[in-house]
């Protein structure tokens, strides 16, 4: 029966950089990464309309 962890990774440095006991997801470097991901999704992925949405838009413009 295994005891402990499969991977026991530790990061040195201040807790605000490496996340401390909460892990790397709690570091201050995750804030810009999350904001960059949000911006990418909003500006690059939303522009690609789904086929259903483009059909609805074309039908609305044709009926007007």
Q: Where do the domains of the chain lie?
A: 15-63
Contact (CB, 8 A) for 26 and 17:
no
User: pTM score, two decimals?
Assistant: 0.53
Cβ neighbours around 27 below 10 Å, total: 19
Tens of pLDDT, residue by residue over 9-57, are: 777 888 888 888 888 888 888 999 999 999 988 888 766 655 555 555 5
Contact (CB, 8 A) for 26 and 14:
no
Residue 61 has pLDDT above 70, yes or no: no
């Amino acid at each position: 029966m295994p005891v402990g962890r499969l991977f026991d990774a530790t990061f040195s440095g201040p807790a605000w950089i490496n996340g401390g006991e909460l892990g790397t997801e709690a570091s201050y470097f995750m804030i810009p990464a999350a904001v960059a991901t949000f911006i990418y999704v909003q500006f690059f992925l939303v522009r690609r309309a789904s086929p259903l949405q483009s059909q609805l838009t074309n039908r609305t413009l044709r009926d007007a």
